[in-house]
Amino acid sequence: MNKDLATTVHPKRCISPISVSDNTAQVGQVIDRLGYDSLTYLIAAGSLADADALFTVLLEESDLSGSGFTAVADEHLIGTEALASFQFDDDNEPRKLGYIGNKQYSRLTITPSGNASAAVVSAIALLGHPREMPTANPPA
């Protein structure tokens, strides 16, 4: 049994760790799936200080890297955006959301509501099932 995961995945920065103290949407980097057959977003919530804050996750897709983004249909997700979303009492809990659609580009957005205190959030896009292995280390 091959236990190697490192050479079969490729992490990409989506949302760098940031402390958000208002309701500004955190729009992730556009992720290009070219060369990979699977994609999972990994979301990390750090300290969430506001007692009534909600953080809603949205995944969008497009055939173009700079425009035409639309919400991903539920049947093209592994998990749900609701399960990937989090709230004030989910401190230090990770979330994940898989994409199985056919578009080359996607982007993740985390939108706070009711947030007036520092909340630390971040996200990584994990590309998998590469067409060429091993994947680069460190990732490019």
- pTM assigned to the model: 0.95
pLDDT-based confidence at 1, cuts 50/70/90?
A: confident
Question: What integer pLDDT is reported at residue 49 of this predicted model?
Answer: 83
pLDDT digits (tens, 9 = 90+) for 77-135: 999 999 999 999 999 999 999 999 999 999 999 999 999 988 999 999 999 999 999 99
| Torsion 61-62-67-68 (CA) sign | negative
CA distances from 12 to 9, 41, 64, 68, 94 (A): 10, 10, 18, 21, 17
Question: What integer pLDDT is reported at residue 140 of this predicted model?
Answer: 81
Question: Which 8-state DSSP code applies to residue 8?
Answer: G
Query: Which residue's structure tokens are 């590469």?
Result: 130
- Residue 2 pLDDT exceeds 90: no
pLDDT digits (tens, 9 = 90+) for 49-85: 888 999 999 999 999 999 999 999 999 999 999 999 9
